[in-house]
Each structure stands twice: as structure tokens, then as C-alpha cells.
């Protein structure tokens, strides 16, 4: 899909070169979100939420570790039936812990989506505004890990302009 974007951009550049000046720019949306004031605030909120959930999970894990230690100490003196019952209890607690950990992970993912969705929508509008102000024909998304933009002149990067414009918006 990324290759299609690049090919379309190249074809448009070639076909539009004779008709009018075609100006192409790129923006690293992820960087723009992370460096914007709203993105930093969302990241901090996510960090606090994750720390809270991790603290709760660590307490539950410590309880399970204590149960396991207790089980290991008593397994040589417990009757076979009592040993099986303790092993079952330990296994059930571990399953509960795994379910709680998975639920916490899902909640964090949902929270992140809830926090970032309005930022992303606003970011799209700001990118459009900056593109119009700079009379750009097209803006593509840059992503350092996916290598969408293989080469561009430094002045083609409007990420910092987008961050400044985004932070000015209310």
C-alpha cells in the first residue's frame, strides 16, 4: 500500500509538472503527536494509568508468589488430597491473575485510543491548514520505521510547522 502512495505521488508529479508547480511535503504524524502539548499530556496520563495498573498487578503477583512459596513448603507434609486442592487453588489464582492482566492491557489500549483519537482528528485538520498555507499540492506521511519517504530535502519536512500550528489551535 505504501508503494502505491509513492507511485501515485511520482505519477502525479510527472503529469502535473508541465501544468503547474507541484509541491510535495511530508510530516511525521507520530512525532507531531508525541511532541505536541496535547500528545505529551495524553502520554503522561497513559503513564500514570499504566503505573497504577502495574502497581495493582504487582500486588496480586506478590500474593500468588506467597501462595506458591507456602505450597512449596507444605507439599512434603500435606496429604495427597490436600496437596491437589492447594495446587488447584494456586492454578486458579494464576488464571485469575492472567485474566486481570489481560483486562488491564485491554483497558490501557482503549484508554490510549480514547485519548489519541481526538488528537489525531485535530492533527489531520492542522496538517491540511499548514499545507494550504504553504501552497502544497500533497502531504505524505513519514514514518521512520516504515521508510515511506526514502529521500526528501529538509525543507520538505513540515512536522515542526504542524506541531507549532497544532499547539496554537484551541
Torsion of CA 110, 112, 117, 119, to 10 degrees: 160
What residues have CB less than 8 Å from 104, skipping those under 6 apart? 53, 56, 57
- Number of residues assigned to the chain: 170
- pLDDT tens digits, one per residue of 124-144: 999 999 999 988 888 888 877
Query: pLDDT class for 147, splitting at 50, 70, 90?
Result: low
H runs (alpha helix) in the chain: 2-16, 29-35, 37-74, 80-133, 159-168
- pLDDT tens digits, one per residue of 38-92: 999 999 999 999 999 999 999 999 999 998 998 888 878 888 888 888 889 989 9
Task: Match 505504501 to its residue by C-alpha cell.
Answer: 2
Q: Which residues of 126-155 are buried (b: 16+ CB within 10 A; e: fewer)?
A: bbeebbeeeebebbbbbeeeeebbeeeeee
Is the model's pTM score more than 0.85?
Answer: no
What residues have CB less than 8 Å from 72, skipping those under 6 apart? none
Amino acid at each position: 500500500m505504501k508503494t502505491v502512495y509513492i507511485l501515485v505521488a511520482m505519477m502525479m508529479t510527472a503529469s502535473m509538472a508541465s501544468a503547474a508547480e507541484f509541491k510535495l511535503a511530508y510530516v511525521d504524524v507520530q512525532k507531531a503527536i508525541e511532541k505536541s502539548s496535547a500528545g505529551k499530556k495524553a502520554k503522561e496520563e497513559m503513564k500514570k494509568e499504566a503505573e497504577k495498573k502495574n502497581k495493582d498487578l504487582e500486588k496480586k503477583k506478590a500474593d500468588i508468589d506467597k501462595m506458591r512459596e507456602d505450597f512449596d513448603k507444605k507439599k512434603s507434609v500435606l496429604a495427597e488430597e490436600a496437596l491437589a486442592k492447594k495446587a488447584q487453588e494456586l492454578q486458579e489464582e494464576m488464571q485469575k491473575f492472567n485474566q486481570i492482566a489481560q483486562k488491564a492491557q485491554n483497558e490501557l489500549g482503549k484508554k490510549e485510543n480514547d485519548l489519541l483519537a481526538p488528537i489525531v482528528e485535530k492533527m489531520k485538520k492542522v496538517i491540511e491548514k499548514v499545507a494550504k498555507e504553504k501552497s502544497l499540492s500533497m502531504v505524505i506521511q513519514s514514518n521512520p520505521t516504515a521508510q515511506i519517504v526514502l529521500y526528501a530535502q529538509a525543507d520538505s519536512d513540515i512536522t515542526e510547522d504542524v506541531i507549532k500550528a497544532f499547539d496554537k489551535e484551541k
